[in-house]
Structure 1
């Protein structure tokens, strides 16, 4: 197993090559040579470029989580998420060329985009967690995927934003969070409308065709109705 110092050197070299040559501009063997490590070591630590991106995203996640502001705890969820995402952009600012290259490659290669989406969705869940927003279950999965899409649009603006104050980037993030709130509001409305229908459909009759008990506890000897 490689030392932490060797892993750091490999990842830094990967990001540098990625920013200079693009996703397809170098091979893993060239990464090993540039990082001055054996191919066997590289294979053990990072079997492919996606693994390198996964490690990079995980590192960014860790840094964001370390910088969560406890003073934001009493602020609205939207403001907490805004603060977390701006912190993430600040941490990623040193890697703009590499991030731009990843975006270009993903737009050209749908298969790569799907692989990266899984990694980005994991990061999105952690960003929701950092903002104190529950990130488990189906609804959270939808929120995480929506955040991946929304934040990618903000990234496109951020990559071209030369203003030290990031005015355009913050405006873009505001818009995306506004759209996200509207979208989740519609999802919640549909959920409230549909949930009673599912409860009736699944709880109306027992497997024997008799009416289900009103109570959550079945009579002795009768099977319980399946949960919606």
Structure 2
């Protein structure tokens, strides 16, 4: 079977990640990425406006891989927390081949608050899709709250994953712990709302 030809977008993403690993992210120039991808700078500018756009496109590529894997393999756990755990582990699996580059990028972004800030919106959008893959509604105000809560869970597990071994044991333990904490907070908030409603009706 003939190998599918990489699109210009994929070439740019792959070139950016390759160069990020080799020379870091903060000082990486778009012209360098274009040269590595073997495309002209005008073509890159037509597809992406910034390095943040390139990382956002990488996030979308991972989203597509995870959603396809979730659909193919099936997420059969009964509880929402367990389904979400399974989906997020699929995401870590999809990110695995790029871990060295992502580790270098994360290190550089830790010293670049503006650069990190530009990635918040696409990251939240990706996490919204992870909720949907787990059968959890991400729409409306409640969905927005769920996405932001999941962002805290993901950030904690991602930091552990960057330095974890191939078995991902520490990552799984951290993810499970954080999801359980989030569930406990949700239950506590639900009880508080019920109590306030009962007090108001009394």
TM bracket (short chain): 0.7 to 0.9
Structure 2: gaps spanning 5 or more residues: none
User: TM-score w.r.t. structure 1 length?
Assistant: 0.78
The corresponding residue for 1:180 is 182
For residue 25 of structure 1, give the secondary structure of its aligned residue in structure 2. coil
Q: Distance in 2 between matches of 1:107 and 1:150?
A: 18
Larger Rg: 1
Q: Which deviations, in whole Å up to 9, do the C-alpha atoms of 1:20-61 show, x marking residues without a partner?
A: 222213100111111111111000111100110110000000
Greater relative contact order, per chain length (Cα 8 Å cut-off, separation 6+): 2
Alignment of 1:67-106 (within 5 A): 67-68=69-70, 71-73=74-76, 75-106=78-109
Q: Distance in 2 between matches of 1:54 and 1:130?
A: 19
Residue 147 (structure 1) aligned to one of 146, 150, 153: 150
What's the offset of the Cα at 1:193? 5.0
Runs of 4+ in structure 1 off by over 4 angstroms are 193-199
Alignment of 1:98-177 (within 5 A): 98-162=101-165, 164-177=166-179
- Answer 1 or 2: which has greater helix percent: 2
Q: Distance in 2 between matches of 1:87 and 1:95?
A: 14
Whether the aligned pair in 2 keeps the contact of 1:20 and 1:97 (CA below 8 Å) is no
The corresponding residue for 1:211 is none
Structure 1: gaps spanning 5 or more residues: 200-228
Aligned length: 196
Whether the aligned pair in 1 keeps the contact of 2:62 and 2:91 (CA below 8 Å) is yes
- Closer/same/farther in 2, CA of residues 191 and 25 from structure 1, 3 Å limit: same
